Amino acid sequence: MRITQGTFSYLPDLTDDEIRAQVQYSIDQGWAVAVEFSDDPHPRNVLWEMWGLPMFGIADAAAAMHEVSGCRAAYPGHYIRVSAYDASLGRQTTALSFIVNRPAAEPGFRLDRQEASDRRIRYSLHPHATDQPAGERYGSVSAAPGNVMPNGVRGGS
């Protein structure tokens, strides 16, 4: 099941050139671009892990693309998204957010039904991927999140 979320969820996956154009647009608007990744695709999981800090003060999309490709290389089997923060309103506002990388196979979700009192049914979505511990989902063999920092330096050095 192809998971969609974010700004261009209704479009096919963007190509690198399209991603670059969107990132350049964000930079030109004065938004800070950040790269985030996750292997927990539940739609209510909004807090993904950050790949480095948001990029303040960059002028060209090439810098963000460098980080995207770095993140892809480290987490090929994860969902990766690019977010742009608009600080002009004085609070953290996501102006743009879209998926730039997804695992090769996406097993999708299971619908769980829970019997509650008075024959009521509670529903919940259970991503099949989360049956595995974090870092081992989607056939990923990469290190668990948090152990490798964006610059390739092992944590704790």
Length of the chain counted residue by residue:
157
Residue 99 CA to residue 94 CA, distance in Å, equals 14
The residue (of 82 and 129) whose beta carbon lies closer to another protein is: 82
User: Binding to another protein by residue 68, rule CB under 8 A?
Assistant: no
Rounded Cα distance, 68 and 88, in Å? 25
Size of the site for another protein (CB under 8 A): 22
Count other C-beta atoms under 10 Å from residue 59's C-beta. 9
Residue 153 interacting with another protein (CB under 8 A): yes
**CB-wise, 117 or 157, nearer to another protein?**
157
CB of 95 to another protein, least distance (A): 11
Q: How far apart are CA 27 and CA 142, in angstroms?
A: 31
- Residue 60 contacts another protein per CB under 8 A: yes
Q: Residue 143, interface with another protein (CB under 8 A)?
A: no
Q: Which residue has the tokens 């963000």?
A: 64
Question: Which range in 35-43, 125-133, 135-143, 144-152 contacts another protein by CB under 8 A?
Answer: 144-152
Site string for another protein, 1-40 (x = CB under 8 A): -------x--x--x---x--x---x---------------
Stretch that binds another protein, among 39-47, 55-63, 77-85, 118-126 (CB under 8 A): 55-63
* Antiparallel, parallel or unpaired: β 79-86 and 93-101: antiparallel
Structure-block tokens of residue 137: 């989902």
Q: Is 116 in the site for another protein (CB under 8 A)?
A: no
Q: How many CB atoms lie within 10 A of CB 8?
A: 17
DSSP 112-125: EEEE-GGG-EEEEE
- Footprint of another protein on this chain (CB under 8 A)? 8, 11, 14, 18, 21, 25, 52, 55, 57-63, 66-67, 150-153, 157
